[in-house]
Structure 1
Amino acid sequence: MTNLHTSRRIWAMIAVAVTSLMAAQAHGDTDKYPSRPITVVVPYTPGGSVDTVARLVTAQLQKQLGQPIVIENKPGASGMIGSEYVARAKPDGYTLLLHASSQVYLPLVDARVKYDALKDFTPIARLGTVPLLVVTGAQSPFNTLKELQTQAHAKKDSLTWATSGYGTSSHLVEEMLNRDLKLGMQIVPYRGAAPQLTDVTAGHVSAAASPMPGAYPYVASGKLKALAVTSSSRVSRLPNVPTVAESGVEGFDFSSWYGVWGPAGLPANIASQLATEINKAIHAPEVTKVFDTMMFEVAETSPQDLAKVQQDEHDKISLLAKEADIAVK
């Protein structure tokens, strides 16, 4: 009888141990990141440069993480709506922001912005940089930036810029060209690069500056003409297109960059894990092959790297905005 009682007690102890182990494993699976789908917010319409980069990178990232990644486009207010949405999200790694450098620029030129780009977000990773193209419609009479300048001087207020939104790299380049070439062209804001470039293609707006990931396909298909590139040297995909510096603005060099952020308070281990996986994704052969066609220069990055880059850009653009009187009024 004693042996039977002892045997039952041993089996009971084993059962408790197994149950505890299973519970611990289940709890561990719940805590493991990521354990459910991730939403990546793109604060512009589908089809623009930010959306193009986001879909390419997240498709690879999804394979690596083993969880679905959903792109959620939240356009409006020059990207402000999408950014504010992420700033208010729970900092658990399941709501992220993939944005261009305008994430840092916009609060410097638009008083309506309700978030602090440096304090209300957790930097995760910088993806890379691209030059912008200055483009006009295929049927436009302009074939060079100099011709555009001549017309703008001859008929004041007759030409217009389309921008993907206030505070974007597109907007800043157009403001700088207005200042440096004394163009006086009115800037018309759109809800992203896709509608911006569509209206330039249709001839409703005279010209635009737009990052290569979104603009290059229009140029390659003959829907737009490239007048100049904003990098310090010509790009291999468009060897006959001069730089802005070659077109009359000595020393001009401006690029757009892309990054991933989470809400403020995102745990450091999650930010670090995401940065590691993003680095793998942007260096994957199938991703770099497409990036090469966009003249997209990938970055080897970390949360600390993005934090430094955004601080440096904040300081530089803050000074530029004051000097050029760039502000949404």
Structure 2
Amino acid sequence: MQRRHFIALTSVAAAATASNGWAANGDKYPSKAIRIVVPFPAGGGTDALARAVGQRLGTVLAQSVVIDNRGGANGLIGSEAVAKADPDGYSLLLTIASHTIAPAIYKKMPYNIDKDFAPVSLLAKYPYLLTVPATMPVNTFSEFVAYVKANPKRVSYASSGTGSGPHLGMELFAAAAGLDMVHVPYKGAAPANNDLAGGQVQAMLNNLLAASAMLRAKKIKVLAVTSAARSPALPDVPTVAESGYPGFEVDGWYGLFAPAGTPAPVVSQLHRSAVQAINAPDVMERLSGDGAIVVGSTPQEFAAFVVAEKTKWAAVAAKANVTVD
């Protein structure tokens, strides 16, 4: 009886210690620098957000936060690094919607997104913008749909790469509207936008950050946004849903993950700290520049969101026959 009582007291003490931020080895978490892996090159939108969040997260946690850019293979290389990292809370992944698209399009994956990651928080969501060249003879969403239907296989759309959110988002829209367009993948949003402005391609699902320079120069125009509600950054632009396709919703997003097996108290602390970080005025300003809205979901809510996104994109990829070797 005494031994059982001792074990019970020990368990309670351990749980209390963990809830106060102590790691299993007795060190208070965090006791050293935290690494946030961004699975894309430096200088992009995800990198810029990660640096803003990382700086604030470091302030909240009173510890250094280092951004580690590991681009390549549409995010697979950096994501694999975190999937195989020690589950101690010191290696994190800040990534985007392509994370949940990858399992649907790659024949071989170096990790399992269901088993190798612990969701921390859905940090923010942002709409895609249906953009066309300024010279294109359409000015509304319905006119665009009519134009494409009148020109089957003659309208091409750009994306930042095969399997990206803008690629499969456009495939989902094309299926909903019964459109027959040609996909032209680019290595990033910048060259895609250059060709969009020049009229070499006729449409693209953009984000506000990538499209802003071309929009200001009036070289491209926005016909609709893909979010469920209108974007606060573009309140006069209608949604796809209110333009004749109720229920249509495609969002870009930023999410934070830890390796699977990271202690639950550490994940909880990271969640609370990340929510504080993204609600800091400078980080919110950075997010608004991308037309994004802060979410800050719980780990459980984010886990459910990941499952729903993975299921949705698997169906879209299968219908459009999108695969990458």
Q: Do both share a fold (TM > 0.5)? A: yes
Q: Check the 8 A contact 2:129/2:223 in 1, yes or no.
A: yes
Q: 1:43, 1:142 → 2: CA distance?
A: 37
Q: 1:287, 1:223 → 2: CA distance?
A: 29
Pick one of 94, 97, 100 that aligns with 2:96: 100
Q: Check the 8 A contact 1:107/1:115 in 2, yes or no.
A: no
Change in 2 beyond 3 A, CA 1:312/1:48: same
**1:31 match: secondary structure:** coil
Asked if 1:278 corresponds to 2:279, the answer is: no
Change in 2 beyond 3 A, CA 1:305/1:284: same
Deviations 1:278-300 (A, max 9, x none): 01011112222343444422224
> CA shift at 1:218, angstroms?
4.4
The equivalent residue for 1:42 is 38
Does 149-158 or 253-262 show the bigger shift? 149-158
Does 127-136 or 143-152 show the bigger shift? 143-152
The equivalent residue for 1:310 is 306
> CA shift at 1:221, angstroms?
5.1
Does 257-266 or 307-316 show the bigger shift? 307-316
The equivalent residue for 2:58 is 62
Asked if 1:31 corresponds to 2:27, the answer is: yes
Q: 1:91, 1:52 → 2: CA distance?
A: 25
Does 239-248 or 280-289 show the bigger shift? 239-248
Asked if 1:72 corresponds to 2:68, the answer is: yes
Q: 2:78, 2:311 → 1: CA distance?
A: 23
What are the equivalent positions in structure 2 for 1:1-329 lying under 5 Å apart? 31-216=27-212, 218-220=214-216, 222-322=218-318, 324-328=319-323
Matched residue count: 302
State TM-score, norm by structure 1.
0.79
The equivalent residue for 2:11 is none
**2:30 match: secondary structure:** coil
Q: Check the 8 A contact 2:172/2:316 in 1, yes or no.
A: no
The 4+ residue runs of structure 1 with deviation greater than 6 A are none
Considering only CA atoms, is the larger Rg found in Structure 1 or Structure 2? Answer: 1
Q: 1:295, 1:96 → 2: CA distance?
A: 24
Q: Check the 8 A contact 2:158/2:201 in 1, yes or no.
A: yes
Change in 2 beyond 3 A, CA 1:74/1:221: farther
Deviations 1:188-213 (A, max 9, x none): 33344444434434544322113344
Q: 1:47, 1:178 → 2: CA distance?
A: 31
State TM-score, norm by structure 2.
0.79
Unpaired runs of 5+ residues, structure 1, are 1-27
Deviations 1:82-123 (A, max 9, x none): 222222223233322111132122202332333211111121
Q: Check the 8 A contact 1:163/1:170 in 2, yes or no.
A: yes
Q: 1:206, 1:48 → 2: CA distance?
A: 24
> CA shift at 1:261, angstroms?
0.9
Q: 1:276, 1:230 → 2: CA distance?
A: 29
**2:310 match: secondary structure:** helix
Change in 2 beyond 3 A, CA 1:202/1:30: farther
> CA shift at 1:301, angstroms?
2.4
Q: 2:184, 2:35 → 1: CA distance?
A: 31
**2:313 match: secondary structure:** helix
Q: Check the 8 A contact 1:60/1:281 in 2, yes or no.
A: yes
